[in-house]
Amino acid sequence: MATLRAPRGTRDLLPDERALFAHLMRTGADLATRYGYQQIETPMFEQAAVFERGIGEVTDVVEKELFRIAPRTEESESWALRPEPTAGMVRAYVQHGMQTWPQPVKLTMTGPMFRYDRPQAGRYRQFWQFDVEAIGDPGPAVDAEIIELGLRFYRDAGVAGVEVLVNSIGDPECRPAYTQALTEYYRRHAAALPPTERDRLERNVLRLLDSKDPAMAELNETAPRITEHLCDACAAHFEAVKAHLTAVGVPFRVESALVRGLDYYTRTAFEFYVAGREGQQQALGGGGRYDGLVQLLGGRPTPGIGFGLGLDRVALVLAEQGSVASRETGPLAVVVGADPHDTVTRLRIATELRTAGLRVRADLGRRKLGRQLEAAGREGAHFAVILGDELSAGQVQVRDLLAGTQRIVAADDLARELARAEASHRHG
């Protein structure tokens, strides 16, 4: 029989890494709460139009990377797995009339995203994002607040040396003149363009700037910069974002070639990198303002801004930086027994301790006591509760595996004693 494996570009998060992910998700959720964001959950698949319209038809994410779902029946709807959360969250904002809520509506979500990308380190077909969106605030202060929040996430997660790159990519007022200049520039170099990019030149020229094709790097280096074409309103907005960033002590670098890979962006765009590792493949996270997206998805004109931070890349960088993954701690106690066959009593005592709220494993195998104790030590348990002859007198032995001491405890007092020992250990 053929060996069964996880699909290419996906991976299993084994317990150690899953514990790190849980820690990252908690860090993100706690931070977002502190900044006034509320949790939301949207489906992992949407009508494909949510992404086609929201992210843009002529983007890598939609054109090449969308996981489309083939319906099992003749349904008229066409669905796709979400490649990112923003479009779905904005769809939910419109669908549930959130424009009537106090503005801005600040939402956060963390979960798996799906892109049919060419898999490599840090680029997966299923990956996790921590996302925040502030919908209904035109900025510029909230732009800086969100960037500061992103940076704080990396700091709290323990990633060293994260740098913020910021840019303004204009709005419908000034972008047409810029895209015209850009189109003329690439037309002059049409012969050097790879086929996909030549095809995109007339359809969505901005996407040439964030092309992953190495052949484009040199051409993009000398392409016209949006920052030289900003209208007065966009330029003033960008200056104000920078002033707010400075006021909250966020160091940043203006990167005028930064345009992001999704069509919905206007004005502020930003990305997070480990310093010295810039390059499209390595962004730890990114985001920006999308003042046209709500309207594009059927709502009233409403500004918005947010970010998505890639948790898989954070995990990779933490490993590279030699940061120890936060392992879940072992059980407080393991219930072991001198009689290899008496699993009934072990299970009963363990159940009572769990009912009392304690973290307890029961050794339910038929192995000898020595083996049971060895296993308890290996998994980092603090105590072994040893069931033996004393049980007939209503007592058990409690061995402190860390201190190497042992004493007799009345079975009725066991839960209280263990809870007290754990509390003094935690605070001591």
Residues near ligand HAM (CB under 6 A): 84, 86, 115, 117, 122-124, 127, 129, 131, 133, 261, 283-288, 306-308, 310, 312-313
**Phi, psi of 240, deg, nearest 5:** -70, -40
For residue 140, the minimal CB distance to ligand HAM (Å) is 16
Of 161, 128, 123, the C-alpha closest to 282 is 123
Task: Count Cβ atoms within 10 A of the Cβ of residue 17 and give its class: 0-12 exposed, 13-18 middle, 19 or more buried.
Answer: middle
Distance from the Cα of residue 202 to its chain's centroid: 34
For residue 261, the minimal CB distance to ligand HAM (Å) is 6
For residue 253, the minimal CB distance to ligand HAM (Å) is 16
Q: How many helices and strands (H and E) does the chain possess?
A: 15, 16
Q: Closer CB to ligand HAM, residue 117 or residue 413?
A: 117
Give 3-state DSSP helix, strand, coil % of the chain, rounded to 5.
Answer: 40, 20, 40
Distance from the Cα of residue 223 to its chain's centroid: 32
Contact 208, 220 (CB under 8 A): yes
For residue 76, the minimal CB distance to ligand HAM (Å) is 27
For residue 313, the minimal CB distance to ligand HAM (Å) is 5
Kindly give, in sequence order, each residue whose CB lies less than 8 Å from that of residue 124, ignoring residues fewer than 6 positions away: 9, 10, 11, 117, 312
Q: Closer CB to ligand HAM, residue 91 or residue 399?
A: 91
For residue 207, the minimal CB distance to ligand HAM (Å) is 13
Q: Closer CB to ligand HAM, residue 133 or residue 197?
A: 133
Of 321, 312, 264, 308, the C-alpha closest to 290 is 264
In this structure, how many other beta carbons lie within 10 angstroms of the beta carbon of residue 403? 10
For residue 283, the minimal CB distance to ligand HAM (Å) is 4
Provide the phi-psi class of 56: left if phi over 0, else alpha when psi is between -120 and 50, else beta: left
The residue whose two tokens read 């009508």 is: 47
Return the SS3 of 43: coil
Q: Tokens in use for 187?
A: 């037309």
Contact 153, 313 (CB under 8 A): no
For residue 287, the minimal CB distance to ligand HAM (Å) is 4
Q: Closer CB to ligand HAM, residue 285 or residue 292?
A: 285
Cα separation, 104 vs 141, in Å, equals 12
Cα separation, 341 vs 43, in Å, equals 48
Q: Closer CB to ligand HAM, residue 170 or residue 331?
A: 170
Q: Closer CB to ligand HAM, residue 119 or residue 330?
A: 119
For residue 83, the minimal CB distance to ligand HAM (Å) is 7
Determine the longest span between alpha carbons in the chain, in angstroms: 94
In this structure, how many other beta carbons lie within 10 angstroms of the beta carbon of residue 62? 21
- Give me the residue whose beta carbon is nearest to ligand HAM: 310
For residue 54, the minimal CB distance to ligand HAM (Å) is 10
The residue whose two tokens read 């003033």 is: 236
